[in-house]
Amino acid sequence: MDTEQLFRDSFWPHYPSDVRANLAAARTTDANPGNNPEFPARMGAFAETFVRGVQAMRPELPPLAFDDASVHRLSTVVGPELRDELLAKNELVPFVLHGVAWLGEVIVRAHGGSWRFRNPLWESFVHLRSAAGEADLALFSWFLRALTPPESGVGASSLSDRYRRFVERPTVDVAAWPVFVTGERKLPRLAKVRYDLLHKYLRAHLPELSDLGADFPSPERFEAYGFRYLDLAVIGAGRMVLMSGLAEGGFGAFWLGPKGFEGSLFVPCDTFPEPRAEVIGDGSDLLAQRVRLHFAQNKQALFEELLWWGP
């Protein structure tokens, strides 16, 4: 069952007839133009119902709160298996409606987001301002995609992935991060990639990065990537190092901070044209710097632009 089928089979029958006649218009029409306080109050009540329901359904999970950690805990159980369980009990629609309300309330309470109400309420967005700009986060879509098989490519599929990429990472206070690489640093390409040679490279060119961190791939896992080369760049005005290169089957990138591994990304791609990571901006405007990944899939040239501190 893909996302479209899940939407058509389980949710479409519950849409009012006027919305069904013009869904695109409904998704752009404010359902609360008078700022009636009953709307956010209702979402808050739905969110509390969701917290109690998840606790009863999955007592092994620590109780949900309105914080980032709770989103990641919930994400561990939101998938096709849970979808089938809820469908069998005829509980999928209320679960998603209340889940959208809860997730939106987390973003509103923890990150200063604001509701943009639509009809039906599960189509509501949360508007968020961050270092990545302004966006209306379609939380209903997030749930549908998390409840169907994972997608491939640069995009994220799990609830946790999307939340980290579009809420947590853009709202990080990167200006407070320590600068650990100072001065001009021209970093040559590591043309022969082995785990031991990477450590020698770092000692010679980036002695400040004395440890790759406990979460960096093990020597065996790192060798399995089959990197043909690695390019390194200092980003964030010395707050992070980006390491990237062409591997077997795709393009891999690692973000390294003063304590080593901070994050990674792997993009399946063609070997030609050679994929690369382009750093846009010199870091003088910290929030404006970006990392642009250039790659091709099935001979189609593509790019993905990311915050410099990673997805």
Looking at the structure, do residues 191 and 297 belong to the same domain, yes or no?
yes
Looking at the structure, do residues 242 and 116 belong to the same domain, yes or no?
no
Q: Which of 171, 202, 223 is the last residue of a domain?
A: 171
Task: Give the model confidence (pLDDT) of 171-198 as tens digits.
Answer: 999 999 999 999 888 899 999 999 999 9
Residue with tokens 């650990």: 180
Looking at the structure, do residues 161 and 211 belong to the same domain, yes or no?
no
Looking at the structure, do residues 167 and 202 belong to the same domain, yes or no?
no
The whole-number pLDDT of residue 132 equals 83
Range of the domain at 153: 3-171
Looking at the structure, do residues 167 and 206 belong to the same domain, yes or no?
no
The whole-number pLDDT of residue 1 equals 81
Q: Which of 125, 149, 171 is the last residue of a domain?
A: 171
Task: Give the model confidence (pLDDT) of 148-179 as tens digits.
Answer: 986 544 444 789 989 998 999 999 999 999 99
The whole-number pLDDT of residue 283 equals 87
Looking at the structure, do residues 88 and 200 belong to the same domain, yes or no?
no
pTM comes to 0.78
Looking at the structure, do residues 83 and 31 belong to the same domain, yes or no?
yes
Q: How far is CA 225 from CA 40, 78, 161, in A?
A: 48, 29, 22
Looking at the structure, do residues 118 and 84 belong to the same domain, yes or no?
yes
Looking at the structure, do residues 47 and 156 belong to the same domain, yes or no?
yes
**67 neighbors 106 (Cβ within 8 angstroms):** yes
Looking at the structure, do residues 142 and 21 belong to the same domain, yes or no?
yes
Looking at the structure, do residues 162 and 266 belong to the same domain, yes or no?
no
Q: Which of 154, 171, 188 is the last residue of a domain?
A: 171
Q: How many domains does the chain have?
A: 2
- pLDDT block averages, 10 residues each, the chain of length 311: 93 96 96 97 98 96 97 95 96 97 98 97 96 92 91 62 92 94 93 96 95 94 96 97 97 96 94 96 91 96 93 82
Looking at the structure, do residues 185 and 52 belong to the same domain, yes or no?
no
